Amino acid sequence: APVTPADVPISPTVPGKAVPSTAEVKSVTPTAQVQPTPPPDTQPPPVTSSARVPEPSTGWALPASIIGFVAGPLVLGFSIYSADLTAQSHDEYDGFGSYAAAEEHETESWVFGISALLTTAAFGPVVFAGGRSARRHPDVDGARAFRIIGWSNYGASLGCAMAMVAVGLADERVPPALIGITGALGSLSLISFAIDALIARGEAKALIEPSAKTRTHRARIFPTVTPLAAREETTGLMVGLGGRF
């Protein structure tokens, strides 16, 4: 039958516009598509982190500590001798000797001073690395205080040495006392690294040897005081450092 205008519902909001039927509204409503779940075989396995604890090892801490205990006094000796030669050259330049002797002493001072600088710069990281080779296990700590002392004096000695080289190249006089102090800093740096390496080795060794686990002491450094007597009936005290490893 023909549809008359009276049979078509009119929208109350838009005059003259027909209201769509319910079937038409359902036909234009978008349907939500659900993504299919991938099969269990294609899902990535969960990531698990298993940190493996390394086995305790003494590494090459003992050779490194020997290097440090030998190179440290050697640096100090080079520096003291260089400072003495520098003092002699200053006196000879001031008229207390020949000019040729002053130049000879100055050249020798440079040789020993550069030797002390190179020894400190080369063996400092070597001794430190030797101690670190024994600290791979989490229960081996070594001596952090000695490592801090070692790196602080290492940087200070190299800084002072480079400053003295610059002063010398500018034809200025380097104070002999500064040469000795720089050598003392470098020597202390190497010895500190050596002590840290020995302590780390003792801790690692205690973990490796089953019989060492029952020991009541750990590796440590401590001051010692020993009475000293001479034939001239004079007494005194000898102060030093002792260690148990």
In degrees to the nearest 10, what's the CA dihedral of 207, 209, 211, 212?
A: -50
Q: Which DSSP string do the residues of 51-117 spell out, in sequence order?
A: PPPPPP--TTHHHHHHHHHHHHHHHHHHHHHHHHHHHHHHHIIIIIS-HHHHHHHHHHHHHHHHHHH
Question: What's this model's pTM, rounded to 2 decimal places?
Answer: 0.65
**How confident is the model at residue 187, as a pLDDT?**
96
Low-confidence winner among 35-44, 119-128, 157-166 (lowest mean pLDDT): 35-44
Average of per-residue pLDDT across 123-144: 92
Q: Which DSSP string do the residues of 160-219 spell out, in sequence order?
A: HHHHHHHHHHTT-PPPHHHHHHHHHHHHHHHHHHHHHHHHHHHHHHHHH-GGGGG-S---
Is residue 106 pLDDT above 50, yes or no?
yes
Reading the block at residue 162, the tokens are 């480079």
**How confident is the model at residue 12, as a pLDDT?**
53
Is residue 72 pLDDT above 80, yes or no?
yes
What pLDDT digit, counting tens, does each position of 137-189 carry? 888 898 999 999 999 999 999 999 999 989 888 888 889 999 999 999 999 99
The confidence band for 216, taking pLDDT boundaries of 50, 70 and 90, is very low
238 pairs with which residues across the strands?
Answer: 226
CB 75 within 8 A of CB 81: no
**How confident is the model at residue 2, as a pLDDT?**
54
What pLDDT digit, counting tens, does each position of 180-215 carry? 999 999 999 999 999 999 999 999 998 887 644 444
Interacting residues of 69 by C-beta distance below 8 A, sequence separation 6+: 190, 191, 194
Q: How many other β-carbons are positioned within 10 Å of the β-carbon of residue 155?
A: 13
**How confident is the model at residue 212, as a pLDDT?**
46
Q: What is the mean pLDDT of the chain?
A: 78
